[in-house]
Amino acid sequence: MSESTQPAAARRMRLLERFPDGLILVRGAGPDEFNPNFFYLTGLTECTGTLALSASGMRISTGRDHPGPDYLRGRIAHQVLFLPASDPVAARWGEDAQATHEGTHEDAVGVDAVLPVDEFPTRLSGWLQGATRLNYVRATSASVGGPDDDAAFVDSIRNRFLNVVLQDATAAVADLRTVKDDVELAAIERAAEVTVAGFDRVLRSVRPGMMEHQVDAELAAAYRSAGAEHAFDPIVGAGRNALKLHYRDNAGSIEAGDLVLVDSGARLGGYGADVTRTFPADGTFSPRQRELYAVVLAAQTAVIEAIRPGALLGDLHAIAWRSIDSAGYGAAFIHGIGHHLGIETHDAGDIHQPLRAGAVITVEPGIYLADEGIGIRIEDDVWVTEDGSRTLTSAIPKTIEAIEAIMARR
């Protein structure tokens, strides 16, 4: 079993413990042809794959194929991975499947069998004839409106197999994903290290007269040189553009006296970072900018000091808001304090449940003053430990003194 798929095997066992009855089904297809739940449970990103699990087992061949004591029972598997066949023409163009039936051995991924994906409908139909429960893991959470391939697939099962009870197992996988294992934490730390290099490059190069997209390009260059990519479309907002929470144009110019807000993160090995820093274009904060920046930094510091197992994100947000409000800017803090982080930037995790050791969250207070054209946000990635927390992105300068010092060396 490879190092990349071994952790996924352990995750599958934990999921099987939660659903001892019936089948568990996870399809690779999801929004943008990526299902984070499939990746979490297999270590593969192949969007046409399907994973089937069963604690009691699924017959995958008849007794005539395996004569002996198991002649009538046949070969029984508990974990079956369906993958597409290799396409020589697509492979010639570099467009073949990311994982194929022929190229993936069952021992390499830690399953009992790897079967052609074309066999999946027939196999599933046979299994459901004798099953009473199907636990289905969606690619995303259910929502009202818009196309829903998961719902369409489940409806096809419901309309054909009247004896089968359907259960949504998505929340169980989300709960598992909330607490990162050692391999996940290491992957997030690597992504954070690349993000540190990206921000270091930006802080050493930004100056008045540049365009926002040039800052974007500096980040991309740093990430790509490390074999990583953007975890999400970066935000580079100078001056008034920093007031737009989801600004994506990155098309404005950077002028002397502007504050520049950069929200970015690298993705590496399937996991990403998410960091925001706000800094002066000309390398020195004005007195007013220093005043406002100190308010945001104090709020973030107070929140990070309060992070520990059992803490609620709602309570952490209230800490940030009270800190900012005590300085007179409560009305200017217009978004939440953070979110879970992992495979997805806004990762699986119930924001209303107490934090558990092993969770990774962002802490990102901010204030936005439209009448002054100033937007300031400071964001770090924080790992919840057994006795508190550790900031994974602390190497990126964020005090006024540290920012001015590194920018002075441009």
Tokens for 172? 């169980």
Predicted local confidence at residue 31, as pLDDT: 53
- Which residue spans within 148-297 are E strands per DSSP? 165-168, 229-230, 235-238, 259-264, 266-268, 271-272, 275-280
282-326 residue pLDDT tens: 999 999 999 999 999 999 999 999 999 999 999 999 999 999 999
Nearest in space to 392 (alpha carbons), one of 177, 178, 196: 196
Q: What pLDDT does residue 245 have?
A: 96
**383 vs 390: CA distance, rounded Å:** 5
Quote the tokens at residue 317.
Answer: 């947000």
- 104-110 contacts, C-beta under 8 A, 24 or more apart: 106/81, 107/1, 108/1, 108/2, 108/5, 109/1, 109/2, 109/5, 109/8, 109/9, 109/42, 109/43, 109/44, 109/81, 110/1, 110/5, 110/6, 110/8, 110/9, 110/12, 110/79
Question: Which of 209, 181, 126 is closest to 410 using CA atoms?
Answer: 209
Does pTM surpass 0.95?
Answer: no
| Gap between the Cα atoms of 103 and 247, Å rounded | 42
pLDDT of amino acid 17 = 97
Q: Which domains does the chain have, with CATH numbers?
A: 6-177 (3.40.350.10), 182-407 (3.90.230.10)
Alpha carbons 307 and 369: distance in angstroms, whole number: 28
pLDDT on residue 64: 61
CB 2 within 8 A of CB 105: no
Q: What pLDDT score was predicted for residue 233? A: 97
Residue 256, pLDDT score: 97
Say what the pLDDT of residue 188 is. Answer: 98
At residue 74, the pLDDT reads 67
Q: Burial letters for 337-352: b for 16+ Cβ neighbours within 10 Å, e otherwise?
A: bbbbbbbbbebbbebe
Residue 70 has what pLDDT?
A: 60
Chunk the chain into consecutive blocks of 10 residues (it has 410) and report each block's average pLDDT, rounded to whole numbers: 76 96 88 82 88 93 61 79 86 78 87 92 92 89 74 90 93 96 97 98 97 98 98 98 97 98 97 98 98 98 98 98 98 98 96 97 98 98 98 98 95
